[in-house]
Amino acid sequence: MNPPRYDLALLAAAHGGDKQAILALLSAAQPDIRRYARRSCSASADVDDVVQETLWLLYRRIGSLRALGSLSGWLFAIVRRECLRFASRLRGRHVALDDALDDPRHEARFAQMPQHELRIDVSRAIQSLPAHYREIVLLRDIEEMTIDEIAAVLTLSRESVKGRLHRARALLREYLVK
């Protein structure tokens, strides 16, 4: 199934802060968010709350979206995170979002995820990176180049390559955990 496509002009206007465009984007995204929530939430009673919370986050954070083309993946990640949060509340444990980033249980969740879903998530995460971080990750983790080789290809210092790689991996982790 292909991810939904949103009108880039509408996305750009919403990203720029146009209130009408944001409202139109919220209306256009709501069916997709509801569909994601129905698939992701273990309790059907949580779906409406997750949709509302996701729409609220979209409204508040559309201006901070780095890659407009990754809106669907970003929304899906938010829905999954919110479903996990609501499920943990039902079990009597509230999970703070900052603590969720350091939760070792995420590793187990990824280990149990079907390969094709994990590939799609990782691909979307990489696509969401700014170009200079994406390039470093692809060269190091996909092409398996050394830090020195990457530094030579990109005419950067070793320290710059290491710093960018560290930041890129942190962004990937944040994207995948949300």
pTM above 0.75, yes or no: no
> Please, what are the averages of pLDDT over each run of 10 residues along the chain (178 residues)?
64 87 89 86 80 87 75 83 74 45 53 72 83 88 85 91 88 77
Structure tokens at 88: 């943990």
User: Which parts of 113-157 fold into alpha helices (H)?
Assistant: 115-128, 131-137, 147-154
Q: List where CATH 1.10.1740.10 sits in the chain.
A: 7-95
Task: Give the N- to C-terminal CA distance of the chain in Å, as an integer.
Answer: 22
Residue carrying the six token digits 């350091």: 102
| 104-178 placed in CATH 1.10.10.10 | yes
Query: Which pLDDT does position 78 carry in this prediction?
Result: 85
CATH topology of domain 7-95: Rna Polymerase Sigma Factor; Chain: A (1.10.1740)
Asked if 47 and 34 count as a contact pair (C-beta separation under 8 A), the reply is yes
